[in-house]
Amino acid sequence: MVGGTWNWLDAWLDRMLLALDTSTKLAGIALYDGTAGLIAEYNWHSANRHTVELMPQVAQMMRQAGVTPADLRAVGVALGPGSFTGLRVALAAAKGLALANGLALLGVPTLDAVAYPHQSQPTPIVALVQAGRGRVCWTTYAHGPGGWASQAPFRLSTVAEVAASIVRPTTFAGELLPADQETLIQALGRAQAHFLPPALTMRRAGFLAELAWRRFTNGEADDSATLSPIYLHEPDKPK
């Protein structure tokens, strides 16, 4: 209370979650409160410099928001699929913060965060992230008896292989290169391959934070000793 009035910042600092995502070259961080919602977010393209960029960006965001580690109650982290090195950076940071500050640790599949904001689309959603060498990690999301959920295991495929699996009109979201869109259009036609503007399909840390917050308010938490990234293929062997 300040001068006998409710201080909304005090409400934030009582129940704050930090979200971290370095699944691919697109990285993101966010601060989330159950009452005020998303209060800070930063997403950026990294040239595989997650290790040196992540924590300085977190420190800057928290400083600008007037938040300290002591104000946090939970940390959410994107689990993948994604790049081997990138996934380990955010997960190691999340585990370190959770252990050092007594925070709940909450892992969220990266593709869940990609698909989450598109639940109102009339078509199924194919969520994708780039996997390198012309491949993508992906799966399809739709409404079913259990609610909004992935309809198949996460897969690693070429974009042509993704197109070959599509049998009805579908909206594609996430990391799609212009060449990927053209491949899908050539294979499926514009009647079946639907695309939203890039700004609407960008993977955002704010959605990751909201999903992690839902788990936190349900009383869920992951074990820092056993929580591990979601990998879909083995790392390249040194030559």
The DSSP string of 21-90 is: E-SSSEEEEEEEETTTEEEEEEEEE-SS-HHHHHHHHHHHHHHHHT--GGGEEEEEEE--SS-HHHHHHH
Task: With a cut of 70, say whether residue 13 has pLDDT above it.
Answer: no
Confidence of residue 217 (pLDDT cuts 50, 70, 90): very high
Q: How far apart are CA 157 and CA 155, in angstroms?
A: 6
What per-residue confidence (pLDDT) applies to 14?
62
184/207 Cα distance (integer angstroms): 26
Mean pLDDT on 195-207: 95
- In this predicted structure, the answer to whether residue 209 has a pLDDT above a threshold of 90 is yes
Mean pLDDT of 18-44: 96
pLDDT above 80 (res 236): no
- pLDDT of 11 reads 45
Report pLDDT for 234.
54
Q: 141-155: string of b/e by CB count within 10 Å (b at 16+)?
A: bbeeeeeeebeeebb
Structural element, H or E, at residue 231: none
Residues near 22 by beta carbon (within 8 Å), at least 6 away in sequence: 46, 50, 54, 78, 82, 86, 87, 89, 90
142-145, long-range: CB within 8 Å, 24+ apart, which pairs? 143/119
Q: Does 46 score more than 50 pLDDT?
A: yes
Distance CA 35, CA 10 (A): 11
Burial (Cβ within 10 Å: 0-12, 13-18, ≥19) of residue 54: buried
Which tens digit of pLDDT belongs to each residue from 69-101? 889 999 999 999 999 999 999 999 999 999 999
**115-166, pLDDT tens digit by residue?**
999 999 999 999 999 998 889 999 999 999 989 999 999 999 999 999 999 9
Spell 216-239 as b/e; 16+ CB within 10 A means b. beeeebbeeeebebbbbeeeeeee
Position 112 scores a pLDDT of: 98
> What proportion of the chain, given as a percentage, has pLDDT over 70?
91
Backbone torsion region of residue 88, taken as left when φ is above 0, otherwise alpha when ψ lies between -120 and 50, otherwise beta: alpha
Whole-number pLDDT of residue 132: 87
Angle between the N-to-C axes of helices 84-101 and 50-65, in degrees from 0 to 180, rounded to the nearest 10 = 40
On whether the pTM is more than 0.85, the answer is: yes
Cα 14 from chain centroid (whole Å): 24
Q: Is the pLDDT of residue 29 over 80?
A: yes
Given a cut of 60, is residue 9 above it in pLDDT?
A: no
Structural domains of the chain in order of their starting residue, each with its CATH number: 11-109+204-217 (3.30.420.40), 112-201 (3.30.420)
